[in-house]
A = this chain, B = another copy of it.
């Protein structure tokens, strides 16, 4: 009894690890090649399995996509939230914005491939996965929206600034970095600094 329970627990633990390995590999491949160009055989090979064995852990390729997408936003959301909560209550909104930007960039370039994969393959997702995933995206979006509103109410963003334009401009600026950012040439920190300065101070003469 004792030993079979132990064996079962080990098997379960091993299975959880394999699941995560498959997701990690899928995220990396999705990020590089996109969803359709990544085959189950690619994913299986990346974790040393045969194609059919992946179905021991997942019901379908779409289920893998679904989980990769969700992990991508959730981990970024958590990183951003934590970095802001780590600030003192007295922090300015500009400073909150800067650390949020920093955390989002870090999620893109330092915390695995999930967020990059998310941005890369989101548009390739079948409708029912899109509909499901859009909810968590909207929550993340709302978190940022709330930040801009508070900053404007506090007078740190001018009242004539269109917040929805600003929000979308910033998301674009951040996410486009996956197209050109090369680790080593520029730190995530300096990137967040420069973007914050450009956006808050503008580039024109003062």
Interface contact A176-B171, CB-CB below 8 Å: yes
Assembly CA distance A194 to B163 (angstroms): 10
Q: Which of B94, B123, B165, B204 makes the CB contact (< 8 A) with A157?
A: B204
Q: How many copies does the complex hold?
A: 2
Interface contact A176-B168, CB-CB below 8 Å: yes
Please report whether the interface of chain A is mostly helix, strand, loop or mixed according to DSSP. helix
User: Given the complex, which residues of B lie within 8 Å of A52, measured CB to CB?
Assistant: none
26 A-B residue pairs with Cβ-Cβ distance under 8 Å, sorted by A, are A36-B37, A37-B124, A94-B204, A123-B179, A155-B205, A156-B204, A158-B204, A158-B205, A161-B203, A165-B195, A165-B198, A168-B173, A169-B173, A169-B195, A172-B172, A172-B176, A176-B176, A198-B199, A198-B202, A199-B202, A200-B202, A200-B204, A201-B202, A201-B204, A202-B203, A202-B204
